[in-house]
Chains A and B, each alone.
Chain A
């Protein structure tokens, strides 16, 4: 019995600690807050309206997402300076998703239930969006997701202000086939976007007369591309379609150049390299390669001139804009316009009013498609210049209607 006595005896004090811990778990878990109502509903009382800004400010995704937060905060400031929305100032509540998907879900829940945010702007990776989706659907919240993605989704509680595949990938593949060559080598990081995108590209290649030279995936964070480049050399493709993510791009392009492959030998078209990423990779090794987007910092519109100027003024001359940054900026304006039209912050009212909302965005006019809550966007292809900027070589002329399920493309029939 001594053992038992010892076990219990050692820890008498714990009972007291338990009470303290319980209080901690309750209180610390949520910072100073007023005990809110059980049911979340956009809080429209007072002079301000709260919105959430939810991006990864730490962890591996912080590299990309911090700029989106900056753009969203800038748009909010501009709107506030202009008198706000429905006469109310927008009060942004910034949260860190920490590159961790359950954290995104947890923070989304917090923004909706505790802060009663009228809308949340956030996310980058598909995984973070997928994690937040059920939260927004269950709490009838509103998420504005500003990054190009793989399509095949249309949640009633999400507005997608980045491109879906038919506004970025599909036209770029057509352009490559017409201008650069028929033989494609697909490389991507091993996760959902590249795999899904490549599935669509393969179907499109088959339908439009291209050939598949190879398809390779590398784990996220992979940095040795020597073997993959050997494979590319063996297959001698004319085009490399690149859906690598983040850091891997740096390693890939550096090592591609070392292997003696230049833009003249094989064209690389990327869909995840914007102006900011170019700076991290180094312009010298990217010059002459291509990227497909809906916006470049060099896009020639009066709105863009102003946008770039104020972004640099707000965050420093050395900062650059880019497609996701612009889409994040647009998201805030589109939401504000929809609220004004609805005359209410209520999610259902805003959703009902959103269809057809237009915004003269830096990258050209964008319009919300009421059917799938994506936006009409102009597709663009740019060539990377020695100064780290893009020279636009092609655009779709007019905004392309979003088609997340590729329903209007016969070759895509078997895909979903």
Chain B
């Protein structure tokens, strides 16, 4: 029985990690229709930011406060991701809004450069981040252990999701963003500065990637290639969920998470990966618009 609970939890946990990774893409790809292949490298940037913050804390901050480095790292990762995203939007993306396939290629080039830059700055080997001690251990219920780190990531994903929802739905800036992504020319004729909104939206999406990177440091490796591990998964989640639908992205992430862990439990990790991706491809044949889609995909 404990195994069932643990597996259910593992599925949700994996889903929440995938959601964090894909949430930024849900904006830049789902709402703005930009294919940003460097999204993974923004995740990497967030992870390295966390590492740098930790190094700074261990050098300049009293040892008693060390554990709080992670609290500082989350907003900083967001800012670094957002800053990178902002620069990318201003220098590259804004010229390519009408050429999605080209933005895919150009941002792939950006991702190569960012990876090499990370290697040059931090060295080729992985760096280690020690998770704060308040995340050590786990909740034991009926023989099943629920690690605090995973609970924390689930919470973090939920908070990001809710914050994003509130921003898009309840603030003036967020509504402008929605307006622009839904109908660019209409919004601009109503006096919304589409340029500003585009830059802001892209920065927020990239910032969310930074947070995802920060979260990943407590579970996995921190190196120049971590972005590559997640980028295809992230795009698949957004497509599966349905372009332009945040709720769809949540469903997409959770269903891939659940399917992945169940398949891995019955077969093995490699076959699970094959099954998940084959299932996505097959599903999209039947429902090309994804689980939930805010827009009908225009044909031309």
* A residues adjacent to B (C-beta < 8 A): 57-60, 62-64, 66-67, 190, 216-219, 221-224, 226-228, 230-231, 233-234, 246-251, 254-255, 257-260, 276-277, 279-284
Contact = CB atoms under 8 A, between A and B. Distances in A.
A279 B130 CA distance: 11
Contacts of B14: 224, 226
Name which of B14, B125, B140 has the most chain A CB atoms within 10 A of its CB: B125
B265 A63 contact: no
B60 interface: no
A282 B129 contact: yes
Nearest to A230: B6
B218 A254 contact: yes
B67 interface: no
Interface in B199-238: 216, 218-223, 225-226, 228-229
Contacts of A249: 221
Given A226-B14, A247-B225, A282-B130, A63 B125 contact: yes
Interface residues of B, number: 45
Given A63-B126, A217-B268, A223 B229 contact: yes
A245 to B, nearest CB: 11
A224 B17 contact: yes
Name which of B14, B137, B226, B269 has the most chain A CB atoms within 10 A of its CB: B269
Nearest to A218: B269
Contacts of A259: 138, 145, 147
B86 to A, nearest CB: 28
Given A259-B138, A259-B147, A282-B130, A190 B270 contact: yes
Nearest to B273: A219
Given A63-B124, A250-B126, A251-B220, A227 B137 contact: no
Interface of B: 3, 6-7, 10, 13-14, 17, 116, 119, 124-131, 136-138, 140, 145, 147-150, 216, 218-223, 225-226, 228-229, 260-261, 264-265, 268-270, 273
Contacts, number: 129
B149 A280 contact: no
Contact of A227 (B126, B147, B228, B261): B261
Nearest to A320: B125
B270 A219 contact: yes
A226 to B, nearest CB: 4
Contacts of A66: 124-125
Contact of A222 (B126, B218, B228, B269): B269
A230 B221 contact: no
A228 B264 contact: yes
Contacts of A277: 125-126
A281 B265 contact: no
Contacts of B126: 63, 247, 250, 277, 279-281
Nearest to A219: B270
Contacts of B265: 227, 230-231
Contacts of A234: 3
Contacts of B140: 260
B47 to A, nearest CB: 11
A57 B120 CA distance: 11
Contacts of A226: 6, 10, 13-14, 150, 261
Contact of A250 (B137, B221, B260): B221
Contacts of A258: 136-138, 147-150, 219
Contact of B264 (A60, A227, A250, A281): A227
A206 B17 CA distance: 40
B120 to A, nearest CB: 11
A230 B78 CA distance: 32
A63 B149 contact: no
